[in-house]
């Protein structure tokens, strides 16, 4: 089959340029995507009107854009999260939405655990004191530190990245609790590592560190509001490498300032657009707190994850254009397979 006949639009080509792995797949399938960077949805409308497929990293794909897709068969997310894509609108149009859900579970767990260690050992709070020669003050802030094997880690969500995080925590001798929607579901991995599956309220009450591993949707948006943050164990540390919108970041800043939480390690944000084209210094109360460790949504990055997401995303697209389907785990809206487009 000659795939050169299909018009494919590849968004975010300046903010997230196609990798060498992605271009390797283009050559393999004789693809020549239209590579674009659009600042607004309106800029993208005419580009997708006759496109057979869309490849996207961070570009929002709202209903307005989807409803202008006259020939599109698949929106292939080069990543895992699909909170910027209107899944319901795509389903109504008969457009399959695919992703690569497991491309960076190891990287995310590495990054989350690095944030955890930075917070528990107060690494970033020691640096400015060291550079000013305040060695005794640096030592003083470390005297109350806890031994890792004495700490309880709570995993909110129990998918691939959470389980990878659990393996790392197990190596440090930590007690692990986890929660998910269906607590009755048997899980051999949880049994093997002796992970206690508990309610979210119980997890927050008992755990010294809480790490988020959830998608962002209507149910999880601001799941961690002020009330829930205050329900966490006093002195707890919050780690978020999932999605910024899961946490009310204004409330988090206040709870940290008030001293109820000890620290936060954050790789994702709602209040700061880390994908914006400008490089202006961000401005938010969270970013001025000394007990907040921050990174600009880099938890997924590695050569291996770049390979896996490029290969997976393009294979999803090729499967649809070939008249087949991607692997079931990569299909975000399986109902579209049995629903005629409206």
Structure tokens at 35: 């590579």
Q: What angle do CA 157, 159, 165 make, to 5 degrees?
A: 85
- For residue range 181-191, list pLDDT tens digits in order: 999 888 999 99
The reply to whether 162 and 41 lie within a common domain is: no
Q: In 3D, which of 227, 231, 249, 232 has the Cα closest to residue 240?
A: 249
Structure tokens at 82: 């699909």
The reply to whether 141 and 253 lie within a common domain is: yes
Cβ(80)–Cβ(316) below 8 Å: no
| Beta carbons within 10 angstroms of residue 33's beta carbon | 22
Q: What is the pLDDT of residue 342?
A: 60
The reply to whether 251 and 112 lie within a common domain is: yes
The reply to whether 238 and 290 lie within a common domain is: yes
Q: Cβ-count burial of 127 within 10 angstroms (0-12 exposed, 13-18 middle, 19+ buried)?
A: exposed
The reply to whether 52 and 146 lie within a common domain is: no
Cβ(33)–Cβ(6) below 8 Å: no
In whole angstroms, how far apart are CA 237 and each of 5, 244, 257, 265, 288? 52, 16, 13, 8, 17
Q: Which stretches within the chain are classed as H helix?
A: 20-29, 41-48, 63-66, 87-92, 105-120, 123-131, 135-142, 160-171, 188-192, 200-206, 226-230, 249-258, 303-321
Q: What is the pLDDT of residue 188?
A: 94
- For residue range 50-85, list pLDDT tens digits in order: 999 999 999 999 999 999 999 999 999 999 999 999
Reduced to 3 states (helix: H, G, I; strand: E, B; else coil), residue 136 is helix
The reply to whether 131 and 224 lie within a common domain is: yes
d(CA 56, CA 41) in angstroms, rounded, equals 13
Strand order in the sheet with 261-266: 196-197, 175-179, 152-156, 209-212, 236-240, 261-266, 292-294
Provide the domain count of the chain.
2
Cβ(289)–Cβ(253) below 8 Å: yes
Q: Which long-range contacts (CB under 8 A, 24 or more apart) does 13-20 make?
A: 13/37, 14/277, 15/57, 15/58, 15/275, 15/277, 16/57, 16/58, 16/78, 18/310, 19/306, 19/307, 19/310
Final residue belonging to a domain, choices 259, 277, 294: 294
φ/ψ of residue 165, rounded to 5:
-65, -40
The reply to whether 238 and 334 lie within a common domain is: no
The reply to whether 112 and 260 lie within a common domain is: yes
- Is the pLDDT reported for residue 275 higher than 80? no
- Is the pLDDT reported for residue 341 higher than 70? no
CATH number of 23's domain: 3.40.50.720
Q: What is the pLDDT of residue 278?
A: 64
Domain containing 315: what range? 3-103+303-338
- Is the pLDDT reported for residue 173 higher than 90? yes
- Is the pLDDT reported for residue 339 higher than 90? no
The reply to whether 131 and 246 lie within a common domain is: yes
- For residue range 118-168, list pLDDT tens digits in order: 999 999 999 999 999 999 999 999 999 999 999 999 999 999 999 999 999
d(CA 36, CA 30) in angstroms, rounded, equals 19
φ/ψ of residue 8, rounded to 5:
-125, 130
Q: What is the pLDDT of residue 185?
A: 87
d(CA 31, CA 23) in angstroms, rounded, equals 9
Q: What percentage of the chain reaches a pLDDT higher than 70?
A: 98
Query: What is the band of 277 on the pLDDT scale with cuts at 50, 70, 90?
Result: low
Q: In 3D, which of 216, 233, 310, 223 has the Cα closest to residue 268?
A: 216
Q: In 3D, which of 313, 297, 284, 178 has the Cα closest to residue 243?
A: 297
The reply to whether 183 and 82 lie within a common domain is: no
Q: What angle do CA 238, 240, 246 make, to 5 degrees?
A: 100
The reply to whether 84 and 142 lie within a common domain is: no
Please give the residue that has the higher pLDDT: either 340 or 243. Answer: 243
The reply to whether 200 and 323 lie within a common domain is: no
d(CA 319, CA 328) in angstroms, rounded, equals 12
Mean pLDDT over 305-320 rounds to: 98
């Amino acid at each position: 089959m000659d795939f050169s006949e299909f018009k494919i639009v590849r968004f975010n080509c300046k903010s997230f340029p196609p990798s060498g792995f992605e271009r390797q797949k283009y050559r393999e399938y004789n693809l020549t995507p239209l590579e674009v960077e659009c600042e607004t949805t309106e800029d993208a409308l005419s580009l997708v009107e006759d496109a057979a497929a869309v490849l996207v990293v961070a570009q929002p794909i709202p209903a307005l854009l989807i409803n202008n897709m006259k020939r599109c068969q698949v929106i292939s997310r080069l990543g895992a999260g699909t909170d910027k894509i209107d899944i319901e609108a795509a389903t109504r149009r008969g457009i399959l939405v695919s992703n690569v859900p497991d491309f960076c579970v190891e990287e995310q767990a590495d990054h989350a655990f690095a944030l955890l260690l930075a917070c528990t050992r107060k690494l970033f709070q020691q640096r400015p004191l060291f550079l000013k020669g305040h060695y005794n003050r640096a030592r003083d802030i470390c005297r109350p530190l806890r031994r890792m094997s004495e700490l309880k880690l709570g995993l909110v969500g129990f998918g691939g990245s959470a389980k990878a995080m659990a393996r790392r925590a197990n190596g440090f001798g930590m007690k692990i609790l986890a929660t998910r929607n269906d607590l009755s579901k048997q899980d051999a991995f949880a049994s093997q590592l002796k992970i206690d599956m508990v309610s979210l309220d119980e997890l927050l009450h008992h755990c010294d560190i809480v790490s988020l591993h959830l998608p962002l949707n209507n149910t999880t948006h601001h799941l961690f509001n002020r009330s829930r943050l205050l329900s966490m164990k006093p002195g707890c540390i919050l780690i978020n490498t999932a999605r910024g919108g899961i946490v009310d970041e204004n409330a988090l800043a206040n709870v940290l300032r008030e001293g109820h939480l000890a620290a936060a390690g954050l790789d994702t944000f709602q209040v700061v657009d880390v994908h914006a084209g400008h490089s202006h210094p961000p401005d938010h109360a969270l970013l001025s707190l000394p007990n907040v460790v921050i990174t600009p949504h880099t938890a997924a990055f590695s050569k291996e994850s770049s390979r896996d997401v490029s290969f997976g995303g393009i294979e999803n697209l090729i499967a649809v254009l070939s008249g087949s389907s991607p692997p079931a785990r990569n299909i975000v809206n399986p109902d579209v397979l049995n629903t005629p487009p409206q």
